[in-house]
Chain A
Amino acid sequence: MPKWFIPVAAVTALMFAASPFLIANAPYEATMGLVQKIFYYHLPSAWVFLLSAIVCGIASARFLFGGSPRQDRLAYAAAELTVLFGAIVLVTGPLWARKAWGVWWQWDVRLTSSLMGWMVAWAYLLVRKYGGPGSDKLAAGLALFGMANVPFVYISVNYWRTIHPATSVVPTLPVDMGVALWFAVACFLLLFVLLLRLRVYLEEQRTRLDALYLSLDE
């Protein structure tokens, strides 16, 4: 593992421990009240979910057209993180919606396209696990569709009628809310970098293990 990993992990852990205090001190939203504070973890995890789908897609494209095993390992790691952060988004969102909208789920464009992106990431992992020989390239093709879905998820709230808050919410946040949000965003981005590096390292070790088994057979 690189030298920066442990110090950055310590800083990230401290930041995560401090984040609830900043969120608790942020003001309440006028119409939604207390439940709106789910936003401070929901939005950063949604951004990291979309970011990891993009990383997975770009690495898969480079693997498909360049054949680099390093890019394949990166894509595999990013797909797992897409599933992880997607699960956080798809659980915290309905918990917020239950109070704010009165329902757990709405089949509107933002929620449905997010669910589709999450299912594509699951499909990637299932194809890699059970697809047999050649599944790496098949899964890479899936990852391209997962990445193509990302802009659709992001702009959906501005182009279609939906009850989900629009993207204009973030730039118009008051300072007190903005500080808590951007601190949480920094936490989740650092965590994403750390988890991605850790997961790629696991794939590197697996590649090394495969090479050892081959040398043992020869």
Chain B
Amino acid sequence: MRALVVLLLMLSSLSASAATFRQQQPESQPPKQTDEFVPISQLPAQDQLPAAPLLVIAYAFVWLVLFAYVVSVSRRLAKVQHEVTRLESDIAKRA
């Protein structure tokens, strides 16, 4: 009798989990075939080109290019000034 109850419980839990699994499965129907193209005058909002990334790229580019240029000039200047100091000390030693 006990074995029969256990078997019934197991069967009922299996059938319940199978039903749950069936419910979670999406309806896998293929999309409808396109019969015609319908024109609209304006794109839906979600399809329009977003402006924010273009704006962010533009401002980031300006800041990065200006920063890179300042770094470039500073490095060139430091190199030349180091060379000037070295040559001046060489000339002073010769004198």
- Name A's B-contacting residues (CB within 8 A): 20, 33-35, 37-38, 41-42, 45, 84, 87-88, 91-92, 95-96, 98-99, 191, 195, 198-199, 201-202, 205-206, 208-209, 212-213, 215-216
A33: chain B residues within 8 A (beta carbon): 51
Nearest 7 CB-CB pairs, A to B? A35-B51, A34-B51, A212-B87, A92-B58, A95-B58, A205-B80, A38-B58
A92: chain B residues within 8 A (beta carbon): 58, 61-62
CB contact under 8 A between A35 and B65, given known A41-B59, A198-B77, A208-B84? no
Report A27 CB to chain B, min CB distance, Å: 15
**B55 and A34 contacting across the interface, CB-CB below 8 Å:** yes
> Which of B51, B62, B84 interacts with A41 by CB under 8 Å?
B62
- Name B's A-contacting residues (CB within 8 A): 49, 51-52, 54-55, 57-59, 61-62, 65-66, 69-70, 73, 76-77, 80-81, 83-84, 87-88, 90-91
A199: chain B residues within 8 A (beta carbon): 73
B88: chain A residues within 8 A (beta carbon): 212
**B54 and A35 contacting across the interface, CB-CB below 8 Å:** yes
A216-B90, A216-B91 given; name 16 further pairs at CB < 8 Å: A34-B51, A34-B52, A35-B54, A38-B55, A38-B59, A88-B61, A92-B58, A95-B54, A98-B49, A99-B49, A199-B73, A202-B80, A205-B77, A205-B80, A209-B84, A209-B87
